[in-house]
Structure 1
């Protein structure tokens, strides 16, 4: 599964991306906002992540800039099975590229892929002390559900307060026939 946006190429990660992935994500300012990524993050962690199986309804893509020369790994975006089975959107951007709209651009492409596959309900979660992520979600049409949740963050090595956002395209999360067809075969987050 690939996607091109005006400034990005999103594609599955390949094993040869491991050094670039480790280099881009292994920044305490990035890792502290990620629940499923250990801190520090080395090449072996990247290799384990890149070796995970892919699922057609749960894209897990690396984002490469398509501007100014050779493509450069600047982040990642994808879906994973949330704690209650509802697909959750996740994304990260390397610090040199913060504030340039890349998270919104990448996430919009992944949400579009999910919608094209028939997924109706998406959820996203962000740490309460990361309002920039909430801004991205609002731009994408997600709404704050009013719920907070404590989740363990590998990046922080601690429990953190998170805000729950949802985007629903009709139908409830429990009657989504596309997701129901796959049952427990949907992957969990890396």
Structure 2
């Protein structure tokens, strides 16, 4: 699955992406805000992530920035099953922070989430990650009032994380009523 937004191209990872991925995510400032990424982040971790297969209703994407000389990897984003919820997770390489890429990628993935039939998506940024909370607010998420203790391999102890959620509107039903919308066209013989 591929997604094109205004400035970004979201695509599956390919095994040959591992080296570029490793250079970008092998940064404690990035990984300390992630609950699932190992720390330290090794080349083996990058190879495994780049080769990870897609999960039908829970896709993940490499966020790339198209340019004159091809597309550069700038981060990752995806949906994951989390107990009863679907959770959005993402990261952007530090040199690309503050440019709206995370918000743009989140909005694009939420559009796909809706198409995949998800009705609610959550995200759980750490309380000390105000930038991620702003990204989520711009993408339409609202803080639920719930706070969870979440572990990050790059932190010593569990950290409080605020649960944000967005309720997605169902896609328009273009099939019409049960009879396919043909009743008005039928004539009595």
TM over 0.5: yes
Give the structure 2 partner of residue 5 of structure 1: 5
Q: In the aligned structure 1, how far is the partner of 2:118 from the partner of 2:132?
A: 22
1:78 touches 1:90 (CA, 8 Å); kept in 2?
Answer: yes
Q: Take 1:170 and 1:77, find their aligned partners in 2: how far apart are those partners? A: 21
What are the within-5 Å matches in structure 2 for residues 1-190 of structure 1?
1-82=1-82, 84-169=83-168
Aligned to 1:176: none
List gaps (5 residues or longer) in structure 2. Answer: 171-189
TM-score of the superposition, structure 2-length normalised? 0.86
Structure that is richer in helix per residue: 1
Kindly tell me the number of residue pairs found equivalent between the two proteins: 170
Bigger relative contact order (CA 8 A; separation at least 6): 1
Q: Is the 8 A contact 2:16 2:50 kept in 1?
A: no
Q: How far does residue 53 in structure 1 lie from its aligned partner after superposition? A: 2.9
Quote the RMSD (CA, aligned, Å). Answer: 1.4
SS in 1 for 2:158: strand
The structure whose Rg is larger is 2
